[in-house]
Structure 1
Amino acid sequence: MGSAVEIALLGEVSARVGGRTIELGPARQRCVLAALAVDVNRVVPVTQLIERVWGDEPPPRARATLQSYLSRLRQAFADTGVELASRSTGYVLVADESAVDLMRFRKLRGEAGDRALALWHGEPLTGIGGDWADQTRDSLTQERHAAELDLIDARLRLGQGPELLATISALATSRPLDERVAAQHLQALAQAGRISEALEQFLVIRARLVDELGIEPGEELKRLHGELLLSDQPVEVPRQLPSAPAQFVGRQEDLAQLDDAVRTEVAAIVGAGGMGKTWLALHWAHRNLHRFPDGQLFVDLRGFSPDETPMEPDVAIRGFLHALGLDAARVPADPRARAALFRSLTARKRVLVVVDNAADASQVVPLLPGGDTCRVLVTSRNRLPGLVSRPVGLDVLADTDASTLLATRIGRTRLSAEPLAAARLIDLCGGLPLALSIVGARVLTEPDLSLAAIARQLEELGLGALDADPAVSLPVVLSWSYRALTDEQKTMFALLGIAPGEDIDAHAAASLAGTCAEDAKAALRALEQASLVSISPGFRARMHDLVRTYAAGRRAGSEEALRRLVDHHVHTAHANDRLIDPLRPLIDLDDPAPNTLITPAGDMAGALAWFDAERGTRRAVQQTAAQHGWNDRVVLLARVSHAYHQRRGHLDDELAMWQAAINAADDPQDRVVAHRIMGSSLGQVQRYDEAQHHLDTSLALAEQAGEALPLACAHGTLTWLWVSRSEHHRAYEHAKAALPHYQQTGNQMLIALAHNNIGYCAAEVGDTDEGREHATKALELLHELGDRQGEATAVDTLGRIAHQTGDHAEAIALHERALELYQVENDDYTTANVLIGLGHPHLALEQRDQAVEVWRRALEMLERQGRDEEADRVRKLLAAVHAD
């Protein structure tokens, strides 16, 4: 019996013995092997085997040629324990089933889906053709898709919907009629707290099924829809942890120390870069998920990033507040108040907070949750004095653990074949996990090179025992690994070192390198196989900061590459922005840089998923544009992100990006827009004085330019601000000033909304006749345009006016019509406002029970949305009714 045999079908058809590649001959000969391997240990009749290899019309000498192929394959597998045996009715491949990757995949699929999918290396049966190969390839691809969906189901059962959302959204876009994928999409949205979007997606998939297939959704989708409709108050359970490490070994003493350390509120893992601190933290966290039923928060503070400043604690806190389901309007403007709110929200919860790559204790202290039921796990290269007294100090791996880690990469057979050389490699790597992973990955690419020869190569480059000093050792190891890359892979590696943001998707990487998406994916997969990058779900590549520092030193042609990357974000965001808000005025864009890849989503759900996935990168891309003086791109990135930020409530991102736009804006019109939206966003977080300054600046600049649309928008936004401050006379003046400018633009939707603004403000200052006239005009225009949400706004205004003029029954009818329209649009925020208005005419008609009912419904929605001040006003209304 020879060394272990591996027959690969889940990618290129190939075979290896003890890590050595077997020469399988021409394509048809490899097809013979594949045709027998798919039925390993089962007889394949001769006629069936010939049909698999040559199809329906085999050549005259097919049997003789088949015997020749089998003879050569027997020689290739001689002394390996694999037999291509002849039987009375056909032929059989006799081997341990685990030798065929397809059989291992099928066995693992039900036990460990992630390990099963890791066996795939591209399109199955690559390198062979014919009808049978094509049909089998399609069938195996379906098996892979089913396994991917099984794994998603398993992760959804663990509550990992938020982490999976980008991946599932992309699947839903590519498979629009797949009810199983649609059900997973609904579950992921619901677990992320986005109930209204989940309900909207159900309506989308139902319409597709009815229109294209003539069928209603199946029972599973209907059941999920029913559960969503009953979700009056979805519980936000954040699950932000990255995936668990796939190949964790050793560290048993460190894990035991960590178990002890976490009994107190804060535990820390400290050690040099490349020691595996994050690796250990995530392994421990996933092993202890059951202890934290209220969720897990994760943040990378980038304390040691070579090209980014460490994250401010306040930015991390705002991210935590959003993850905990806090509505943007409820996030306090003052940083100290935000930190206090975070402590309050977590005071009685059992939440795990993992803080990765902290620079020092001062960066961590503001992130500590309240109470004593939460736990915090910090990783850092510093010992964090003042935060913890006894951190878990991470040292190099023991020799036995280092050997196990190397064996997981190169196979136990190859490791044990050269024990002395293997020990030398482990000694050279000094027990450093990152170095061991990179060396192990490179060994796999050199199957014909002995471990002793590989060790000599490292020594010739000047690598002695590493002494666990990554600053000295890793450049040598990386240099050795870098030399084995192709030119295309070297280019991608170097450019990733300077790419802005924490990670990058394949399409952005393609733009960075000026290549196509498939070539970019191939390069990224090769870099992953070399342990130079890690690829997360959604195919997003990330580099360890030590590797990134080395890669950045190899950059070439970076100016053109970064321009392509920035243009990829600008143009893709612009296309996706149109899907999120198609009625916004068009933005004129010039052509992107040559070889820039633009990848718009297929629908609004896909567009939102893209923006979600790129949220951590977008501001870094904008900063890169600013550093290179591409000021128009700085402004454009803020503009094309605006609708997304508003829809998601990411006002911290909105404010930061528009401040950058104000700093960069050269064009007068850009300054008008930047100050206007900055003022509007500041108003949303109740920073009214600052908002007023920016809006007054925007109006003054618009008056200097004298163009209609900027003037109209400036007056329109000031209308909204003064209404927010209950200064209705001042709001009324701006509403009237805006209308003629809107009329000059010819945009009927904007004209209609301007009429409604005048109607609302006129009624608030007592001129109900003018209010009714303008609101009616707005309703007529919006109905003609088919804008149901705008129509609801006008109907609600008319309801308010009817109540003010004593026609309470008409007011009730109008408010109820507005409610119907808003609920169709899943607009819970405005629905709460309408419910408040509906209670007043009920009370005026002495319909006390009805008034109490609608105000209680409004109160539940306001509390769920975190709108405390408005909720207090409704509580007072209810108290007044009960007092009477």
Structure 2
Amino acid sequence: MEFRLLGPVELLAAAGPVELGTPRERHVVGVLAAEAGRLVPVATLIERVWGPEAPAGARATLRVYLSHIRKVIDKANSDSDHPATLVRRAGGYLLDIDADQVDLHRFRRLVAHGRDPGRTDGERATSLRQALDLPKGEPLADLSGGWAERIRLAWSREYLDAALAWARAVLSAGDGGSAVGLLAELADQHPLNESLAAALMRALHAAGRSSEALQHHADVRGRLKEELGTDPGAELQATHQQILRGRPATPPARPQPSGAGVVPAQLPADLPSFAARGHALDQLDNLVPQAADPPGGTAILITAIDGTAGVGKTALAVHWAHRVAARFPDGQLYVNLRGFDPSGQVMDPATAMRGFLEALEVPQRRIPTDPDAQAALYRSLLGGRRMLVVLDNARDSAQVRPLLPGAPGCLAVVTSRNQLTSLIAGTGAHPVTLDLLTHDEARTLLTRRLGADRIAAEPDAVAEIITRCARLPLALTLVAAHAAIRPRTVLRTLADQLRDTQHRWQALTGDDSTTDVRSVFSWSNQALSPDAARLFRLLGLHPGPDVREAAVASLAAVPLAQAQALLTELLRANLVTEHRAGRYTLHDLLRAYATELADSTDPDDERRAATHRMLDHYLYSAHAGDRLLYPERDPITLPPLQPGVAPEHPAGEQQVRDWFVTEHAVLLAVLDRAATTGFDIHVWQLAWTLRLFLDRRGHWPDWIATGRAAAAAAGRLGDPVAEVWAHRELARPYLLLSRLDTAEEHLSRALEVATQAGDQVGQANAESSIGHLWQRRGDTAKAIEHVRRAHELYRATGHPRGQARALNNIGWLHSQVGDHRAALAACEQALTLNQNINDPDGEGATWDSLGFIHHHLGDHAQAITCYEQALTVVRELGDRYYEADVLTHLAATQHDAGNRAAAIDAYRQALVILDDLDHPEADAVRAKLQDAGSA
């Protein structure tokens, strides 16, 4: 029995093809076969088959499909030596089948074998050729939808990488000429791929066709220069020189990874006092291929490190990762998944995925909103690379799976307090269970922290400390830290304190089940000054991944200098970590302890007051930054500032932008905390301060999440102004994502609330956005109707900025239906208003509209002048996407005016920006540039 995905979805039994049923039933089979041997949750099946807008009855329909598919498979099993089974398990379905019975997985296995450095060139070439011969067409050729398209996109890159590996193998085996046909075909499909061009040149040279190789280089060089404005890279140039000199053209020692140029190095610092974990390190070392230099590796390697809290899983993973980092030359990715965070806020895999994609320098605008699409892009980026991925502190297997690499050559290290049985069973991950330290390892740890002389002076006390700490690394580290900051204290005193149950929550013994590191935290807390102990408790109330000194000062209501001194005390006691200059974080266990301690020590009103100060700090700081960047926005009135809060005030625009980038994750966590603690005013106003940052940086999923929270909070408050704003702003990302029905729901609600409240500005804002909605739907008449209504309301309320924006929109809409005279009149009024109120955003947009209008009136010279004015404004604003947009319009005008050179120059400038942003419109501009160049 064989499932075929590399072409139309098919099931082949011994007697021949098996009829699978309807297109959707084939789609279900395709999803299950693509995940052969892995549980596919029902929700995932529905999303991949029906897409994000699945009908209400999709779950029931899916059950019918699966019942039929099970019968089809069972019937096909009757004459098969290798049967398959459709298994129903909690939450999903699994196709239990040998992965080799699915051509997609067989392709990947053959490619992995073809990259095995232990095999001969001929053997590797044979395996890779077998893989390349498997496809019967593009994958899932009879399926449509986002999931199928993502599979096709990722696989096309895998195929190309495999073809390049095969070409290297046959060249090394002395038969490079045999690769010419396939490489030439692929080069036609990927004309700007330099690695492919170099491979084809080497194959042509090996076949005695050196002149053709040199001509191909000239063609590619000209195409790169013409379309991208760049010269060939190092590999292509080196191949060219080898052929010119009549030498054998050899591939580079290791191929440049696709998307080369970024080598992330996210590992935390190694611990100099790491205690020897010989057996565990040996287990991990055995996972790395002995010959690590050749590309691709031999397998997707995964190891799952588990063990009790505080046993040193992270320390081991990070220490070992540093040891082998050089064997993964394409970089290291690291994330703390916060699987056991006391707040219960386990990190969403999609959040971790976005962090990885950002580390791989994927621009925010290009990161998909769909988690499956993010995972597909991530796996594609890791294809052909040798990377080390450390997934620390995982909650369960489900949290980890989307973050695992999808192609050979990478190694994933996962740590968790839980034994990840499902991960081990489903992926073949190698389990490493970390036990307590041996007595000698524990003594080594203390020696490295406290010095050999001090340890040798009190052997009995040291032995008791090790026993009372249960040989738990975290407990030993804390004891050593306490001893280090009290150098005159004899170790016998510390041993006696550990023995005294009145000063511990629970006695520490060598038995795992009775070990409680909170007793060590309690003892460490007692050694702090009263102010430092209070600060430690308050830090448990902070929800973000880290916290900067200024926010700590507001949280504790102390001056900044005092906050810095107290943080230093906590740092010395190993109760906080300064992972970046001026930014502090707590280990999960420390955070849990601090939270519990605050709950049991500090009255409710004091904890609520501290939370209030923290929220005020971030709200006022973000608001000040937003006002500096965007002073033209309609202002909001903040709640009174709590005593003891000192908001931050970055000095300039770039400092503000850097602040928002650095505090992005913290602000999202703080907004969530405001929502769960009843600070609804802070919820919607924090969303207000974040709105333009999230928009311009392309953080659309966060924009939607904060918008939803703001709308809910405004509804609870019964504040119509806040509710109108929240629903209108929540509609904007849905408009950008073309989810027009959802956008309409929120805009209708905004208009309804504004009308009921008599809020004419709110009505005008909603009407303006509804006009945008109808424009996106292609109904320009309705769009004009709503925007005109918005303009009348803005005028009635004396709102010049709104009037200007509405007039520009009216003009733009008229120009889209060819009424350029009416458009010109409206946009000229808009320009005057924007200049009078000094609104550069509005002015830049209006100059752009005027350029379009004059272009279509046939006045090319005036259109060019308008576009140049728009460029001046948008460049001062630093809006690079808008700059590319204006340049594209300018290029079209120059082209129609007969200024071919100027048009090409403007298109090239636009293309450089869009390529830098990795924006989807780059291909359209590239095509226009090519047309302009060939005209």
Q: Structure 2 length as normaliser, TM-score?
A: 0.66
1:817 deviation in Å?
Answer: 3.7
1:801 deviation in Å?
Answer: 0.7
Paired with 2:576 and 2:568, the residues of 1 have a C-alpha distance of 9
* Contact 1:271/1:393 (<8 A) preserved: yes
Query: Which structure 2 residues correspond to residues 653-802 of structure 1 after superposition, within 5 A?
Result: 653-665=702-714, 666=717, 667-802=719-854
* Contact 2:790/2:806 (<8 A) preserved: yes
Q: Which residue matches 1:562?
A: 611
Cα gap change, 1:516/1:850 in structure 2, threshold over 3 Å: closer, same or farther? closer
Q: Which residue matches 2:276?
A: 250
Asked if 1:809 corresponds to 2:861, the answer is yes
Cα gap change, 1:802/1:597 in structure 2, threshold over 3 Å: closer, same or farther? same
Asked if 1:553 corresponds to 2:596, the answer is yes
1:866 deviation in Å?
Answer: 3.3
1:485 deviation in Å?
Answer: 2.0
* Contact 1:410/1:443 (<8 A) preserved: yes
Q: Which residue matches 1:518?
A: 561
Q: Which residue matches 2:303?
A: 267
Asked if 1:377 corresponds to 2:407, the answer is no
Query: Which structure 2 residues correspond to residues 81-100 of structure 1 after superposition, within 5 A?
Result: none
1:649 deviation in Å?
Answer: 1.9
Asked if 1:838 corresponds to 2:890, the answer is yes
1:528 deviation in Å?
Answer: 1.8
* Contact 1:272/1:470 (<8 A) preserved: no
Q: Which residue matches 1:494?
A: 537
* Contact 1:273/1:470 (<8 A) preserved: no
* Contact 1:333/1:687 (<8 A) preserved: no
SS at match of 2:575: coil
Instruction: Kindly tell me the number of residue pairs found equivalent between the two proteins.
Output: 655
* Contact 1:580/1:643 (<8 A) preserved: no
1:670 deviation in Å?
Answer: 0.9
Cα gap change, 1:434/1:775 in structure 2, threshold over 3 Å: closer, same or farther? same
Paired with 1:773 and 1:336, the residues of 2 have a C-alpha distance of 48
1:470 deviation in Å?
Answer: 7.9
* Contact 2:369/2:700 (<8 A) preserved: no
* Contact 1:332/1:685 (<8 A) preserved: no
SS at match of 1:379: strand
Asked if 1:449 corresponds to 2:489, the answer is yes
Paired with 1:698 and 1:351, the residues of 2 have a C-alpha distance of 48
Amino acid at match of 2:472: L
SS at match of 2:413: strand
1:239 deviation in Å?
Answer: 4.3
Query: Which structure 2 residues correspond to residues 438-477 of structure 1 after superposition, within 5 A?
Result: 438-461=478-501, 466-467=509-510, 469=512, 472-477=515-520
- Which of 482, 505, 512 is equivalent to 2:525? 482
1:453 deviation in Å?
Answer: 2.4
Paired with 2:911 and 2:487, the residues of 1 have a C-alpha distance of 68
Q: Which residue matches 2:106?
A: none
Paired with 1:580 and 1:307, the residues of 2 have a C-alpha distance of 33
SS at match of 2:692: helix
Superposed CA offset, 1:802-853 (max 9, x none): 1111223332333244334433443220122123222333333444554445
Q: Which residue matches 2:339?
A: 303
SS at match of 1:304: coil
Superposed CA offset, 1:672-723 (max 9, x none): 0110111002222332221222122212222222223222222233333444
* Contact 1:277/1:379 (<8 A) preserved: yes
SS at match of 2:414: strand
Paired with 2:288 and 2:768, the residues of 1 have a C-alpha distance of 54
Asked if 1:599 corresponds to 2:648, the answer is yes
Amino acid at match of 1:629: G
Q: Which residue matches 1:618?
A: 667
Amino acid at match of 1:595: G
Paired with 1:835 and 1:337, the residues of 2 have a C-alpha distance of 31
Asked if 1:403 corresponds to 2:443, the answer is yes
Superposed CA offset, 1:408-443 (max 9, x none): 332332222212222221222232111111111222
After superposition, the CA RMSD in angstroms is: 2.9
Paired with 2:268 and 2:627, the residues of 1 have a C-alpha distance of 31
Q: Which residue matches 1:345?
A: 381
1:750 deviation in Å?
Answer: 3.7
Amino acid at match of 1:641: L
Asked if 1:573 corresponds to 2:618, the answer is no
Paired with 1:356 and 1:272, the residues of 2 have a C-alpha distance of 14
- Which of 361, 371, 375 is equivalent to 1:335? 371
Paired with 2:660 and 2:514, the residues of 1 have a C-alpha distance of 36
- Which of 284, 288, 301 is equivalent to 2:320? 284
Cα gap change, 1:689/1:352 in structure 2, threshold over 3 Å: closer, same or farther? farther
1:880 deviation in Å?
Answer: 5.6
1:445 deviation in Å?
Answer: 4.0
Cα gap change, 1:856/1:721 in structure 2, threshold over 3 Å: closer, same or farther? farther
Query: Which range moves more in the overlay, 807-816 or 849-858?
Result: 849-858
Q: Which residue matches 1:162?
A: none
Cα gap change, 1:328/1:714 in structure 2, threshold over 3 Å: closer, same or farther? farther
* Contact 2:632/2:839 (<8 A) preserved: no
Superposed CA offset, 1:509-529 (max 9, x none): 222223222222222221221
Q: Which residue matches 1:150?
A: none
Cα gap change, 1:720/1:546 in structure 2, threshold over 3 Å: closer, same or farther? same
* Contact 2:470/2:515 (<8 A) preserved: no
Query: Which range moves more in the overlay, 737-746 or 354-363?
Result: 737-746
Superposed CA offset, 1:851-882 (max 9, x none): 445334434433433332x3444355456667
Amino acid at match of 2:848: D
1:784 deviation in Å?
Answer: 4.2
Asked if 1:635 corresponds to 2:684, the answer is yes
Asked if 1:867 corresponds to 2:907, the answer is no
* Contact 1:838/1:854 (<8 A) preserved: yes
Cα gap change, 1:308/1:674 in structure 2, threshold over 3 Å: closer, same or farther? same
1:619 deviation in Å?
Answer: 2.4
Paired with 2:513 and 2:544, the residues of 1 have a C-alpha distance of 23
- Which of 695, 701, 706 is equivalent to 1:646? 695
SS at match of 1:305: coil
SS at match of 1:343: helix
Paired with 1:414 and 1:311, the residues of 2 have a C-alpha distance of 42
Superposed CA offset, 1:366-410 (max 9, x none): 112332233322111122224344222222233333223223332
Paired with 2:569 and 2:688, the residues of 1 have a C-alpha distance of 36
Query: Which range moves more in the overlay, 473-482 or 786-795?
Result: 786-795
Query: Which structure 2 residues correspond to residues 314-333 of structure 1 after superposition, within 5 A?
Result: 314-333=350-369
Paired with 2:668 and 2:511, the residues of 1 have a C-alpha distance of 35
Cα gap change, 1:670/1:825 in structure 2, threshold over 3 Å: closer, same or farther? closer
Asked if 1:364 corresponds to 2:404, the answer is no
1:757 deviation in Å?
Answer: 1.7
SS at match of 1:585: coil
Asked if 1:391 corresponds to 2:431, the answer is yes
Paired with 1:348 and 1:442, the residues of 2 have a C-alpha distance of 47
* Contact 1:564/1:596 (<8 A) preserved: yes
Unmatched segments (≥5 aa) in structure 2: 1-228, 234-258, 290-299
Q: Which residue matches 2:459?
A: 419
* Contact 1:680/1:721 (<8 A) preserved: no
Q: Which residue matches 2:572?
A: 529
Amino acid at match of 1:874: V
1:744 deviation in Å?
Answer: 4.2
Q: Which residue matches 2:152?
A: none
